[in-house]
């Protein structure tokens, strides 16, 4: 598959959306779809979809459209979601528990090996069979389990110190809910931020300005 260099984050961020809609169509037993129908379902123009997919190779066929199973598999391969990254989660509060449950029910590239918490009331319990450990055992656990990804569900104030430890352990991949900007401090890390407040403020702006189109 001929893959272009310099693929932009905007293209990458649309791939999961394609994957999501294709999973749906596949589950419904649909075998192929025209680019026009696909465009309507996803809410992205046919030419944008074509342009995005062209970054990774040739998928559609003139007059035939897209084979759903083929395209679904290809996007799954592009995203790398069948890889298993050994992962830990820090913070067993409401959000941490929600995310731990989410990860366990969606087999997408990550295996949650352990949850770490400083509140001893939680320690020894499990979330979807994943044990909650006391934060003190973090270093040993990460080394023994070759952890490569950390999910941060802790308040911003606590993140600076934890990030320092995780970075020193060689962890370079983060799913970050903490409102602490890791990538400003550490230049060689991969961070997917879920900044809930940023999202809320954006919603606020859009409501105030009646800004519908995303």
Residues binding a copy of itself (CB under 8 A): 9, 12-13, 15-17, 19-20, 41-43, 78-81, 83, 85, 93-95, 97-99, 101-103, 106, 108-110, 148-149, 173, 175, 179, 181, 183-184, 187-214
With beta carbons less than 8 A apart as the criterion, state whether 111 and 86 touch. Answer: yes
* Number of Cβ atoms within 10 Å of the Cβ of 124: 10
Q: Which is nearer to a copy of itself, 67 or 173 (CB)?
A: 173
Q: Shortest gap between Cβ of 89 and a copy of itself (angstroms)?
A: 12
Residue 210 φ/ψ, nearest 5 degrees: 45, 50
Residue 160 φ/ψ, nearest 5 degrees: -55, -50
Q: Shortest gap between Cβ of 137 and a copy of itself (angstroms)?
A: 24
Q: Which is nearer to a copy of itself, 81 or 158 (CB)?
A: 81
Q: Which is nearer to a copy of itself, 63 or 188 (CB)?
A: 188
Q: Shortest gap between Cβ of 155 and a copy of itself (angstroms)?
A: 10
Q: Shortest gap between Cβ of 61 and a copy of itself (angstroms)?
A: 25
Question: How many Cα atoms sit within 13 Å of 61 on the Cβ side?
Answer: 8
Q: Shortest gap between Cβ of 191 and a copy of itself (angstroms)?
A: 7
Q: Which is nearer to a copy of itself, 95 or 165 (CB)?
A: 95
Q: Which is nearer to a copy of itself, 61 or 126 (CB)?
A: 126
Long-range pairs for 164-167: beta carbons < 8 A, 24 or more residues apart: 165/138, 165/139, 166/138, 166/142
With beta carbons less than 8 A apart as the criterion, state whether 183 and 160 touch. Answer: no
The Cα–Cα gap between 133 and 123 comes to: 5
The Cα–Cα gap between 18 and 55 comes to: 14
């Amino acid at each position: 598959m001929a893959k272009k260099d310099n693929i932009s984050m905007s293209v990458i961020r649309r791939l999961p959306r394609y994957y999501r809609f294709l999973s749906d169509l596949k589950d419904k037993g649909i075998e192929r779809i025209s680019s026009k129908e696909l465009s309507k379902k996803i809410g992205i123009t046919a030419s944008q979809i074509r342009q995005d997919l062209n970054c990774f190779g040739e998928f559609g066929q003139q007059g035939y459209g897209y084979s759903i199973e083929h395209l679904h598999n290809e996007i799954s391969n592009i995203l790398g979601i069948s890889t298993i990254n050994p992962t830990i989660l820090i913070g067993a509060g409401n959000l941490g528990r929600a995310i731990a449950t989410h990860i366990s029910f969606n087999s997408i590239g990550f295996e949650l090996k352990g949850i770490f918490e400083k509140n001893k009331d939680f320690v020894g319990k499990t979330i979807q069979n994943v044990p909650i450990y006391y934060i003190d055992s973090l270093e040993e656990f990460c080394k023994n389990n070759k952890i490569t990804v950390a999910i941060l569900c802790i308040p911003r104030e606590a993140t600076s110190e934890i990030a320092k430890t995780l970075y020193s352990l060689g962890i370079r991949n983060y799913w970050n809910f903490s409102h602490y900007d890791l990538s400003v401090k550490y230049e060689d890390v991969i961070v997917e931020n879920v900044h809930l407040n940023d999202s809320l403020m954006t919603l606020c702006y859009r409501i105030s300005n009646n800004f519908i189109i995303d």
